[in-house]
Structure 1
Amino acid sequence: MRKNLVVLLAVLMAVAIALPAFAVDFKYGGMMRVRWYSYNNFDGTDDADDHANYFDQRVRMYFTFVASENLQLVTKWEEDNVWGAKGGDRDLTHATSDFRDPYDMETKNVYLDFNIPNTPIRAKLGQQGFGLFGGRIIAEDYTGAKFSMPFDPVKVTLGYIAEQNVDYSSEKDNVDIYYLQLQYANGPFSGELIGLYQDGSDTAVSLKTEYADPGVDAQGRETYDGYTFEDNHLFDLGVKLAYSSDMFKATVHFIKNFGSVDLNGESADYKGWFLGADVAIPVNDFTFGLGGFYTTGQDEGDDDVEGYVYPGAVGDSFYWAEIMGFGVLDDMTPRAYTGYPGAGEYTAGGNPSNLYTLYASVDWQALEATKLHLAYYYLGTAEDVVANAATGEKDDSVGSEVDFRLTQKVVDGLNLDVIGAYLFADDAFSGTKDDDDAYEVGARLQWAF
């Protein structure tokens, strides 16, 4: 992999040197980070050994070829590696000779960005980032298209995401997303309105997670958690309202699921919703924050899908608390349950569902190069979840989380983050009888250039 990377960089540099002859400008940038990460008791019990302690690194390289303000080619490349592991693997089961070089270089973005002549439309075609409501709907790199039209103070964007198409001979496993986004900004007020449609065909998309994969029955339909899936059609309607001034900043998100899916031949309606609010109040060198969110859960006696779902098995990257919401050390999250269509579970991490939180935070710019962050989260479930698998006992209190982060500027844009987080676990944290507290500590050294 290292040889391939060297060749790639050599080709890009050669092209950059030759660019003036073709009247094309060349821009570059990127990011490099190294992290230390340690956590324990993420499974809710101290009986099993789930302690992790390791280093990892990530490099992103951005190369943009600019013909003019009307046309450019954007490319972004990424390589991740866990120190001492082959290709980022954490099981460390490979032969020692396999530990030498990482191999998981990936194409993050490659897309054309251009103006359509004689129109106000800006088009982006190819593999690119799609972010809707900061991951509360979706945030991921996909192949697809965006068409944006500015009509000041409103911007209109039409988007298409080719989420899945792995069998060219059949449409049963196709997943396509279409959305319309209206963005408004005028003075201190701003807002967004998003309408999204996901055609999930006969797949379990939106009702599974990256931690478990569905099977396939004799008719080619996906099976998951004891269900077969057909005609999976999800609609999302989302509203964002924001106000920003020197005195405070406030944001409200509301997203409602619509549509239906056939589960074992019976139609089930999507009924879940997400509601979140955040307020930030700056006072001299301090910024005080208050807020939280609420996501609906599945009622055990209802045949419809009442829990809030996301348009995709993966790709929902909503970062909030450090332990329960990925945070800066976005790697693992406790109790990553699927939760749907069955009841008695919740999801945390980047796709919270059947979960709510209330938080208070304070940021202090202690010195010009030093910033401190402290936050408290209370977490609970919208519907009771299994708190003791042996007895079936249920509860709705997940626990309280305290996060601390020190951000220090080191040199020339290089920043150091030192993080510590502790979760005081309540009965609903996991399905074990006695839930043990979870914690994580770590550090991130990052340079954006």
Structure 2
Amino acid sequence: MRKRVLAVAAAGALTVATAVPALALENEFHGLFRVFGTISNYNDGGSGALLPDQISDGNGKDPKTKSFVEQRARLMYIAKANDDLKLVTHFEIDSRWGDNSYTTSRNMGGAVGADTTNLETKNVYLDFNIPSTPLNFKVGIQPITDSYKGIFINADAAAVIATARLGDGSILAGFSRLDDADTFTIGSAASRSATTPGKATRDLYLLDGKYNITKDLKVGASYYVLTADQNSTNLNFTMHTLGVNGEYKFNPVTVDGFLLYQIGRTDGADKYDFGGWAANLTAKAKLGPGTLKASFLYASGEQNSDNEDSSYVGVTNETSKANGKHSFYESDMMIMFRNKWNVTGDRAIVYNVKNVIGGFVGYNAPITSKLFANANVGFVAADKNNDNYGATTSGDAKHDSQYLGTELNAEVGYKVYDNLTASLQGAYVFLGDYFKRTAANGQDPRDPYETRIMLNYAF
């Protein structure tokens, strides 16, 4: 009997011992749920550049007003072993009400019946520190955002990122494989199917440094290398992007900005040199109950040279063709530039940040502890007078003007709870002469507008 009791006790102790690591694991859940209804004469629920025909029916009549409802859920689960080791996972479910059901496609499942396999994996990566060192590693599919407000890259990608914090500064080094083998859309099907993993790739190398000179003055510098090697196509190049950035606070004003310059050369049949550049300057100041912000952005355009591409180039998605994997959300535009609240209806006149000069002014004000409002105006022009924003009716003829348009937008919101916000948004663009006669049959496109009512829950 004594031996049996000892055996049971030993088995129980072993069970408890093996369960300790599982019991010690911390589980964190975060996420958001966003739903909004849209009324617009241009937004069709798709993504990409806004083309003139989308705001004109070609017969001089106003295009049909569109109305739809979109929703997005993001779910994040973090398995935390301790303060130095955790696994981060992030998932997304998007749909437009009435879109489809009983299917296996992303951004679907809003039609009657629902029951759609549409869970998207945004991030799966390991986040850990190296003991007794200042090094942190993130390995896996993760969010990557540059030090330039996202105008070079702001996307999810498979990568390894190492960060070291050294006193008042930090250094980041990383590698990301953006595309591999037959994910390229450029080139013939035969050339793409003939590739094997590691033989036709697009890779990104990152090096970032930041230093706090004082508590009010911060500076940084970066070196990004984007390489592409696609068999028998023009998508063969090495592009170097060099940048500097800084921020300075002198009450009540904070000024920040950056400068980026790109060099490199293509290795395909049509050889040309890269020579694009971009710059930004932003000032924020406390004014009355709210904050006033003024921002300037420049991204160079193409000079139509045979051996030089002077356009600034951000990272794009070659798997889904021209979808930009960079942005300039700081503009706070809803139509001229991509908007941070967009779900599947992600249309913009300047979808990829290039060939653009923009000035933006905005004011954000808390009216009460729960009620807030903001308003923005943007003035946007093309750097070079070419066909980046819509074809002309006379081939390569230049547009009447380089001015793209002026956007006015505003938002009024109310915090129902600390985590739940309801808001009403509206935007209107007065198109510039750049777009004259660019719609079908030589018609002038209509000025685009959009109104949205939104509920946003974050936890």
Instruction: Report TM bin, short chain.
Output: 0.7 to 0.9
Number of the residue aligned with 1:324: 336
How many pairs are equivalent?
A: 392
Alpha-carbon contact 2:109-2:115 (below 8 Å) kept: no
1:107-146 alignment runs, 5 A limit: 107-132=121-146, 133-146=148-161
Deviations 1:82-115 (A, max 9, x none): 11112799x9xx9998852343211111111111
Following TM superposition, by how much is the alpha carbon of 1:152 offset from its aligned partner in structure 2, in angstroms? 1.5
Change (3 A) 1:34 1:19: farther
Number of the residue aligned with 2:56: 46
- Distance in 1 (CA, whole Å) between partners of 2:75 and 2:171 is 30
Deviations 1:34-73 (A, max 9, x none): 1112221454342254743211111111111111112111
Following TM superposition, by how much is the alpha carbon of 1:284 offset from its aligned partner in structure 2, in angstroms? 3.0
In the alignment, structure 2 segments of 5+ residues that lack a partner are 1-18, 43-49, 183-194, 318-323
State whether structure 2 residue 287 is matched by structure 1 residue 260. no
Alpha-carbon contact 1:188-1:243 (below 8 Å) kept: yes
Change (3 A) 1:139 1:248: same
1:108-187 alignment runs, 5 A limit: 108-132=122-146, 133-167=148-182, 169=196, 171=198, 173-185=200-212, 186-187=214-215
1:218-229 alignment runs, 5 A limit: 220-221=231-232, 228-229=233-234
State whether structure 2 residue 264 is matched by structure 1 residue 237. no
Among 251, 256, 268, the alignment partner of 1:251 is 256
Alpha-carbon contact 1:149-1:157 (below 8 Å) kept: yes
Give the TM-score, by structure 1 length: 0.81
Change (3 A) 1:378 1:97: closer
Q: Which has the higher contact order (CA 8 A, sep 6+)?
A: 2
Q: Secondary structure at the match of 1:428?
A: helix
In the alignment, structure 1 segments of 5+ residues that lack a partner are 1-17, 203-219, 222-227, 336-347
Among 428, 450, 458, the alignment partner of 1:448 is 458
Alpha-carbon contact 1:354-1:381 (below 8 Å) kept: yes
Moved more, 314-323 or 138-147: 314-323
State whether structure 2 residue 76 is matched by structure 1 residue 76. no
Alpha-carbon contact 1:427-1:435 (below 8 Å) kept: no
Moved more, 46-55 or 67-76: 46-55
Q: Secondary structure at the match of 1:250?
A: strand
Letter of the aligned partner of 2:36 in structure 1? R
Moved more, 298-307 or 354-363: 298-307
- Distance in 1 (CA, whole Å) between partners of 2:271 and 2:221 is 28
- Distance in 1 (CA, whole Å) between partners of 2:109 and 2:72 is 23
Number of the residue aligned with 2:80: 66
More strand by share: 1
State whether structure 2 residue 315 is matched by structure 1 residue 311. yes
State whether structure 2 residue 69 is matched by structure 1 residue 55. yes
Letter of the aligned partner of 2:316 in structure 1? G
Number of the residue aligned with 1:370: 371
